Amino acid sequence: MEILVTYDVTTDTNEGRRRLRRVAKVCEGFGQRVQDSVFECVIDAAQLTLLLHRLEQEIKPDEDSLRIYRLQEPRERYLQVLGREIAHDQRKPLIF
């Protein structure tokens, strides 16, 4: 499945800025950053459960906001990109 993870972490304090970096690091382990606080992930149900668990451990629910959207497939039919494209389509092989 393809999902979109978006987050808004309060960064008024040093602790908040650390939380922001930790949330981004968790997301980097599951997908590709497409904007500052937006990640596209191609994962299965077990990975989604793990991602949610790890993110829940990093945020402060009373201060931060996380949204996860399941993207409708086929993505090419529903996605429009204006401007710079993402670096790599995660569904395709990465060849060096």
20-77 per-position pLDDT tens digit: 999 999 999 999 999 999 999 999 999 999 999 999 999 999 999 999 999 877 767 7
48-57 per-position pLDDT tens digit: 999 999 999 9
> Which of the 8 DSSP states describes residue 38?
E
CA–CA–CA angle 27, 32, 35 (5° rounding): 90
Q: Is 19 inside a domain boundary? A: yes
Q: Is 92 inside a domain boundary? A: no
Q: Is 20 inside a domain boundary? A: yes
**What is the pTM assigned to this prediction?**
0.79
Q: Is 6 inside a domain boundary? A: yes
CA 57 to chain centre: 15
| Domain of residue 66, CATH code | 3.30.70.240
> Which of the 8 DSSP states describes residue 30?
T
**pLDDT given for residue 88 in this prediction:** 57
The domain tally of the chain equals 1
Q: Is 67 inside a domain boundary? A: yes
Containing structural domain, residue 26: 2-78
Residues 86-93, mean pLDDT to the nearest whole number: 59
